[in-house]
């Protein structure tokens, strides 16, 4: 025994083993097809970025930047670095750095892990995964609507029917400034019910105070002046343009005037897709417009709108994933005897793979009985046997383990050179 103390995964960071990992891959495949149907292309950014990118891009006075980021100083060069807590800031950084928007707007997406130091619970982890979608350079509500229509297609594809849409408009900077003054006044009048965090944020980020989950502050939040009531004609027109297009697509929504989202950079449209099936962590997807972010991060001003889906929550909701509960390791399991048998089995397996089949060759030399047990456990449809008799006759013995056997038979004999064709057409 080694004296090494066993290492476990970090709290809130999960391994995914089969069959769960198979379900992840199935979900990712569906998601990639769905993104392609709307012309989105993959933009891959590093997991690690300069801390100041997130401080600026997400906002200093936010949960993420104040208390959830994994940040450290690189001891080799004293740079302050952070594991990405979300995708948007890094995507926008890359788009600016490579001048991606020089000739036309772009639709881009990313899939992958993000990191937040939160209290782990169902639907809330410290490493989790997002599907992040950004439409960059598009000003109009047509694209806001397209994103939402696109999401409802994904829910349909996955068979999710109890997920509802809430929307709001955060207007433009001047409208928020007018609302902000009224809101601070309201907060001051109710200062006795504010918790410490709310008091701290009352002046730096009063809108976020309304995003509170503290039950004692709900009445105060409900009676607060609504940003929606401060919107001017242009913002309202944008909002109405979105609503009309959602109605065209038959998508029901509710206006939630308290929806402000966790991040600082949103304007006009914000939305969330929420379910009651995941307990307290019911938000599956959040998004909205952030027309000022590209400029805020040093780029040429350009409008943008996007969303992020939490993949753990999506996977949790996706009950059809049960069809992958017993994934097969292969379609064909090749058993063999003797060194010649093993070598013939290996080359036969390559020919079967050429024909597109998924094939496992038994490794090592054990008796047929234990090889068949393995074949069965692998989930294969057939076991192909290559022993002394088969080598002599040039015909493999094929044992049907599940379905596809000829009437009344479990076993048949197929010439080596016809095996790939036969199995390919019948599995
Ligand atoms: P919440 O209010 O649940 O903390 P958020 O506003 O912080 O969510 P966003 O920053 O909008 O979340 O992230 C987009 C999506 O990522 C969320 O809607 C959710 O599905 C998912 N998500 C956020 N935080 C976590 C987490 N810690 N673990 C798993 N999924 C998460
Ligand atoms: Mg959060």
* CATH number for 121: 3.30.930.10
Residue 125 CB–ligand 1 contact under 6 Å: yes
Let me know if residue 223 belongs to a domain.
no
**Residue 178: its pLDDT value, please?**
93
Let me know if residue 187 belongs to a domain.
no
CATH at residue 412: 3.40.50.800
Spacing, Cα 338 to ligand 1 middle (Å): 56
Give the residue numbers spanning the domain of 363.
332-426
Nearest-ligand number for the alpha carbon of 308? 1
**Residue 33: its pLDDT value, please?**
98
**Residue 324: its pLDDT value, please?**
94
Let me know if residue 404 belongs to a domain.
yes
Kindly state whether residues 164 and 264 are assigned to the same domain: yes
Kindly state whether residues 144 and 59 are assigned to the same domain: yes
Q: What is the DSSP letter of 322?
A: G
Each residue's pLDDT tens digit, 219-248:
999 999 999 999 999 999 999 999 999 999
CA 143 to chain centre: 21
Residue 284 CB–ligand 1 contact under 6 Å: yes
Spacing, Cα 279 to ligand 1 middle (Å): 14
Nearest residue (CA) to ligand 1, atom 6: 262
CA dist 49 and 84 (Å) reads: 7
Let me know if residue 201 belongs to a domain.
no
Let me know if residue 86 belongs to a domain.
yes
pTM of the predicted model over 0.85? yes
Tokens 């801390």 found at? 51
Nearest residue (CA) to ligand 1, atom 27: 124
- Mutation test residue for ligand 1: of 281, 284, 314, the one with most atoms within 8 Å of CB: 281
Kindly state whether residues 149 and 60 are assigned to the same domain: yes
Burial 394-407 (b: 16+ CB within 10 A, else e): ebbbbbbbeeebee
Residue 235 CB–ligand 1 contact under 6 Å: no
Overall number of domains in the chain: 2
CB 150 within 8 A of CB 38: yes
Residue 23 CB–ligand 1 contact under 6 Å: no
DSSP 175-231: HHHHHHHHHHHHHHHTGGG--HHHHHHHHH-HHHHTT---GGGHHHHHTSPPGGGG-
The torsion angles phi and psi of 13, rounded to 5 degrees, stand at -125, 125
Kindly state whether residues 251 and 382 are assigned to the same domain: no
Nearest-ligand number for the alpha carbon of 116? 1
Angle, helices 20-37/141-158, rounded to nearest 10 degrees: 140
**Residue 124: its pLDDT value, please?**
96
- Mutation test residue for ligand 1: of 286, 287, 305, 318, the one with most atoms within 8 Å of CB: 286
Kindly state whether residues 65 and 155 are assigned to the same domain: yes
Residue 310 CB–ligand 1 contact under 6 Å: yes
Residue 146 CB–ligand 1 contact under 6 Å: no
Let me know if residue 269 belongs to a domain.
yes
Angstrom distances, CA of residue 168 to CA of 171, 206, 208: 9, 17, 15
Kindly state whether residues 41 and 122 are assigned to the same domain: yes
Residue that terminates a domain, selected from 321, 355, 388 = 321
Kindly state whether residues 261 and 137 are assigned to the same domain: yes
Let me know if residue 7 belongs to a domain.
no
CA dist 69 and 385 (Å) reads: 56
Let me know if residue 411 belongs to a domain.
yes
Residue 86 CB–ligand 1 contact under 6 Å: yes
Residue 116 CB–ligand 1 contact under 6 Å: yes
Kindly state whether residues 273 and 161 are assigned to the same domain: yes
131, exposed or middle or buried, with CB in 10 Å at 0-12, 13-18, 19+? buried
Residue 262 CB–ligand 1 contact under 6 Å: yes
| Nearest alpha-carbon partner for 97 in 150, 49, 161, 26 | 49
111: helix, strand or coil: strand
Which residues contact residue 81 at a Cβ distance below 8 angstroms, ignoring those fewer than 6 apart? 48, 49, 50, 51, 71, 72, 73, 74
pLDDT tens for the chain, residues 1 to 427: 789 999 999 999 999 999 999 999 999 999 999 999 999 999 999 999 999 999 999 988 888 999 999 999 999 999 999 999 999 999 999 999 999 999 999 999 999 999 999 999 999 999 999 999 999 999 999 999 999 999 999 999 999 999 999 999 999 989 999 999 999 999 999 999 999 999 998 988 888 888 788 899 999 999 999 999 999 999 999 999 999 999 999 999 999 988 887 676 789 999 999 999 988 889 999 999 999 999 999 999 999 999 999 999 999 999 999 999 999 999 999 999 999 999 999 999 999 999 999 999 999 989 999 999 999 999 999 999 999 999 999 999 999 997 656 666 689 999 999 999 999 999 8
Q: How many CB atoms neighbour CB 32 within 10 A?
A: 15
Kindly state whether residues 356 and 307 are assigned to the same domain: no
Residue that terminates a domain, selected from 280, 295, 321 = 321
Residue that terminates a domain, selected from 258, 286, 321 = 321
């Amino acid at each position: 025994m080694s004296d090494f103390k066993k290492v476990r995964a970090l709290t809130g960071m999960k391994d995914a083993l089969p069959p769960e990992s198979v379900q992840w891959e199935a979900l990712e495949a569906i998601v990639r097809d769905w993104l392609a149907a709307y012309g989105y292309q993959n933009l891959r950014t590093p997991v690690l970025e300069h801390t100041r990118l997130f401080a600026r891009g997400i906002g200093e006075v936010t949960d993420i930047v104040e208390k959830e980021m994994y940040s450290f100083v690189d001891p080799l060069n004293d740079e302050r670095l952070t594991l990405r807590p979300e995708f948007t800031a890094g995507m926008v950084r890359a788009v600016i750095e490579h001048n991606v928007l020089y000739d036309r707007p772009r639709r881009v997406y990313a899939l992958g892990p993000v990191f937040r130091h939160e209290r782990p619970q169902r639907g809330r982890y410290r490493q989790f995964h997002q599907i992040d979608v950004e439409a960059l350079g598009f000003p109009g509500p047509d694209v806001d609507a397209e994103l939402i229509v696109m999401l409802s297609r994904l829910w349909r594809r996955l068979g999710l029917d109890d997920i509802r849409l809430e929307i709001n408009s955060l207007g433009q900077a001047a409208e928020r400034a007018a609302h902000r003054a009224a809101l601070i006044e309201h907060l001051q009048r109710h200062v006795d019910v504010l918790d410490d965090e709310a008091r701290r944020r009352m002046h730096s980020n009063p809108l976020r105070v309304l995003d509170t989950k503290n039950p004692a502050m709900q009445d105060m939040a409900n009676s607060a002046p609504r940003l929606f009531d401060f919107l001017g004609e242009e913002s309202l027109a944008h909002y109405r343009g979105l609503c009309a297009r959602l109605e065209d697509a038959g998508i029901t929504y509710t206006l939630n005037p308290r929806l402000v989202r966790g991040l600082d950079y949103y304007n006009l449209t914000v939305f969330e897709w929420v379910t009651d099936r995941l307990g307290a962590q019911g938000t599956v997807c959040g998004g909205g417009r952030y027309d000022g972010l590209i400029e805020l991060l040093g780029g040429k001003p350009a409008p943008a709108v996007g969303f992020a889906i939490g993949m753990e929550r999506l996977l949790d909701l996706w009950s059809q994933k049960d069809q992958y509960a017993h994934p097969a390791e292969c379609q064909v399991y090749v058993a063999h005897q003797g060194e010649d048998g093993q070598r013939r089995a290996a080359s036969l397996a390559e020919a079967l793979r050429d024909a597109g089949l998924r094939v496992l060759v038994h490794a090592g030399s054990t008796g047929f009985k234990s090889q068949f047990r393995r074949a069965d456990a692998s989930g294969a449809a057939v076991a192909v046997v290559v022993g002394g008799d088969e080598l002599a006759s040039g015909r493999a013995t094929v044992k049907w383990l599940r379905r596809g056997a000829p009437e009344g038979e479990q076993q048949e004999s197929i010439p080596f050179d016809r095996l790939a064709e036969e199995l390919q057409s019948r599995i």
